[in-house]
Amino acid sequence: MDLSVRIGTLTLQNPLIAASGCFGYGVEYADLVDLASLGGVAVKGLFLEEREGHPAPRIVETPAGMLNAIGLQGIGVRRFIAEKLPELRARQATVIVNICGTTLDEYVELARILSDADGVAALELNISCPNIKEGGITFGCSLNGTFDVVSAVRKVTRLPVVPKLTPNVTDVSSFARAAEEAGADAVSLVNTFLAMAIDVETRRPKLSNIVGGLSGPAIRPIAVRMVYECRQAITIPIIGMGGIADARDAIEFMIAGASAVQVGTASFVDPFIWPKLLDGIRSYMERHHVARVADLVGTVDTGPAAPERSGA
> Mean pLDDT over residues 78-106, rounded?
96
In the prediction, which pLDDT does 309 show? Answer: 59
Q: Is the pLDDT of residue 184 over 90?
A: yes
Cis peptide before 161 (omega within 30 of 0): no
> Mean pLDDT over residues 185-197, rounded?
96
Please answer whether residues 205 and 196 qualify as being in contact, where contact means their C-beta atoms are separated by less than 8 angstroms: yes
> Mean pLDDT over residues 190-202, rounded?
96
47 backbone dihedrals φ, ψ, rounded to 5°: -100, 175
Helix (H, G, I), strand (E, B) or coil at 298: coil
DSSP strand pairing (65-68 vs 204-205) = unpaired
Q: Which one of 100, 129, 141, 230 is the catalytic residue?
A: 129
* Distance from C-alpha of 58 to C-alpha of 126, rounded to nearest angstrom: 19
Give DSSP secondary structure letters for 251-281.
HHHHHHT-SEEEE-HHHHH-TTHHHHHHHHH
* Distance from C-alpha of 16 to C-alpha of 1, rounded to nearest angstrom: 16
Q: Which positions ≥6 away from 116 have C-beta within 8 Å? A: none
In the prediction, which pLDDT does 156 show? Answer: 98
122 backbone dihedrals φ, ψ, rounded to 5°: -165, 165
* Distance from C-alpha of 20 to C-alpha of 97, rounded to nearest angstrom: 8
* Distance from C-alpha of 208 to C-alpha of 127, rounded to nearest angstrom: 22
* Distance from C-alpha of 93 to C-alpha of 224, rounded to nearest angstrom: 27
Backbone CA torsion sign across 117, 21, 33, 96: negative
In the prediction, which pLDDT does 142 show? Answer: 87
In the prediction, which pLDDT does 312 show? Answer: 46
In the chain, domain spans: 5-55+71-196+214-296
CA–CA distance from 119 to each of 70, 85, 93, 197, 306 (Å)? 27, 7, 8, 40, 50
> Mean pLDDT over residues 35-40, rounded?
98
CA–CA distance from 79 to each of 46, 49, 234 (Å)? 10, 9, 36
Give DSSP secondary structure letters for 65-106.
EEEE-----B--HHHIIIIIHHHHHHTT--EEEEE--SSHHH
| Alpha carbon 135 to chain centroid, angstroms | 18
In the prediction, which pLDDT does 129 show? Answer: 65
In the prediction, which pLDDT does 130 show? Answer: 53
Name the residue with higher pLDDT: 199 or 306: 199
Residues comprising the chain, all counted: 312
DSSP strand pairing (10-12 vs 5-7) = antiparallel
Q: Is the pLDDT of residue 14 over 70?
A: yes
Cis peptide before 217 (omega within 30 of 0): no
pLDDT tens-place string over residues 264-311: 999 999 999 999 999 999 999 999 999 999 999 999 999 887 676 555
pLDDT tens-place string over residues 209-258: 999 999 999 999 999 999 999 999 999 999 999 999 999 999 999 999 99
Q: Is the pLDDT of residue 125 over 60?
A: yes
Residue closest to 129 by CA, chosen among 154, 160, 165:
165
In the prediction, which pLDDT does 247 show? Answer: 98
101 backbone dihedrals φ, ψ, rounded to 5°: -150, 150
pLDDT tens-place string over residues 158-180: 999 999 999 999 999 999 999 99
Determine whether 129 is an active site residue.
yes
- Burial call 50-89: b when 16+ CB within 10 Å, e when fewer: ebeebeeebebeeeebbbbbbbbebbebeebbeebbeebe
For the chain, what percent of residues have pLDDT higher than 70?
Answer: 94
Name the CATH superfamily housing domain 5-55+71-196+214-296: Aldolase class I (3.20.20.70)
